[in-house]
């Protein structure tokens, strides 16, 4: 953490815990998925189904390829981001750094974030990637999404003490680079060609999968991550039980199997 990081986060957070209304609005911006992922996915749908006569210099197929490529590439991008957060030296969230003396917003409950490293920001990775995809073929809307990602997604997280500015900057650069790789036609085609073959063979199945992918992206993959978390807990419970059973003395194991009527 450098002095600029500290200065910026302390300054922005200095406006917290003053007005309940301000804290509530900022917390709503930071936590409401309708104002985060839903906005970006609506823009994606608008450009996906836009008429061929309004392509701004790009063929409709190429534009759709960029949009689908970005939605798909964001998944491994976020996996890489979370892996980096786990293997890099732990970086405490600004709100928990007692030396910064940050204010806790009235409506914000941050207990669930204490064990999560703040670097890099997965929010920045996702939303700057989505903004970059649009920027590749429509600069006006792309710039709007960049500004929206800064002021409506990134700044609220600094305000609440969830991230340092450098967390946001690192995530934004990585996410932008991910989406910018869509400019390479060979890579773009490699990632999306099977999906577009599905579209030609079975449009219904393709758009069902497309909706699922878009929905998960708009909801920041929370339903999917929740399902994975529950599955991992079940697997851990089964492995724990299996390990304990096999570590028992032979006679205890025999008694256990007898109770289960296993020969």
Q: pLDDT over 90 for what percent of the chain?
A: 41
Binned at pLDDT 50, 70 and 90, residue 246 comes out as low
Is the domain of 187 the same as that of 86? yes
Is the domain of 234 the same as that of 176? no
Has residue 188 got a pLDDT over 80? yes
A 10 A CB-CB count for 80 gives 15
Q: How many domains does the chain have?
A: 2
Q: Contact, 121 vs 158, CB < 8 A?
A: no
Q: What DSSP letter does each residue of 38-103 carry, written as one string? A: HHHHHHHHHHHT--GGG-TTS-HHHHHHHHHHHHHHHHHHHHHHHHHHHHSPP---GGG-TTT-PP
Q: Contact, 104 vs 27, CB < 8 A?
A: no
Q: What's the rounded Cα separation, in Å, for the pair 128 and 174? A: 9
Q: Contact, 123 vs 171, CB < 8 A?
A: yes
Tens of pLDDT, residues 61-97: 889 999 999 999 999 998 998 888 888 888 888 888 8
Is the domain of 112 the same as that of 236? no
DSSP3 helix / strand / coil % (the chain, rounded to 5): 75, 0, 25
Has residue 57 got a pLDDT over 70? no
Q: Look up the pTM and report it.
A: 0.82
Residue 116 in tokens: 């999560």
Is the domain of 118 the same as that of 184? yes
35: domain range? 3-220
What mean pLDDT comes out for the span 168-191? 92
Is the domain of 147 the same as that of 242? no
Is the domain of 21 the same as that of 140? yes
Binned at pLDDT 50, 70 and 90, residue 245 comes out as low
149: DSSP letter = I
* Residue indicated by tokens 């974030």: 113
pLDDT of residue 257: 44
Q: Range with the lowest mean pLDDT among 34-48, 176-190, 235-249?
A: 235-249
pLDDT of residue 89: 86
pLDDT of residue 51: 65
Q: What's the rounded Cα separation, in Å, for the pair 204 and 225? A: 26
Is the domain of 117 the same as that of 229? no
Is the domain of 242 the same as that of 145? no
**Domain's final residue, options 185, 205, 220:** 220
A 10 A CB-CB count for 33 gives 12
Is the domain of 184 the same as that of 205? yes
Is the domain of 7 the same as that of 50? yes
H/E segment holding residue 155: helix 155-159
Is the domain of 134 the same as that of 182? yes
pLDDT of residue 1: 54
From first CA to last CA, the distance across the chain in angstroms is 62
Is the domain of 12 the same as that of 129? yes
pLDDT of residue 13: 86
Has residue 147 got a pLDDT over 80? yes
Count H helices, E strands: the chain? 12, 0
């Amino acid at each position: 953490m450098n002095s600029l990081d500290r200065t910026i986060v302390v300054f922005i957070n200095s406006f917290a815990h003053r007005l309940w209304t301000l804290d509530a609005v900022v917390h709503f911006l930071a936590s409401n998925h309708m104002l985060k992922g839903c906005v970006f996915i609506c823009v994606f749908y608008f450009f996906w189904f836009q008429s061929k006569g309004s392509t701004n210099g790009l063929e409709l197929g190429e534009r759709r390829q960029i949009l689908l490529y970005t939605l798909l590439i964001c998944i491994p991008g976020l996996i890489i981001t979370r892996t980096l957060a786990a293997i890099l030296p732990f970086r405490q969230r600004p709100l928990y750094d007692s030396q910064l003396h940050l204010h806790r917003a009235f409506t914000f409950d941050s207990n669930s974030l204490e064990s999560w490293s703040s670097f890099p920001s997965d929010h920045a990775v996702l939303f700057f990637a989505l903004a970059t995809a649009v920027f590749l073929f429509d600069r006006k809307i792309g710039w709007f999404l960049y500004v929206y990602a800064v002021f409506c997604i990134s700044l609220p997280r600094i305000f609440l003490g969830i991230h340092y500015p450098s967390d946001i900057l690192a995530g934004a650069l990585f996410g932008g680079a991910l989406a910018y790789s869509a400019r390479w036609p060979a890579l773009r085609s490699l990632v999306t060609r099977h999906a577009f073959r599905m579209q030609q063979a079975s449009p219904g199945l393709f758009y069902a999968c497309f909706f699922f992918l878009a929905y998960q992206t708009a909801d920041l993959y929370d339903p999917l991550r929740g399902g994975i978390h529950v599955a991992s807990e079940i697997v851990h419970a089964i492995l724990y039980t299996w390990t304990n059973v096999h570590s028992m003395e032979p006679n205890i194991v025999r008694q256990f199997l007898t109770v289960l009527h296993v020969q």
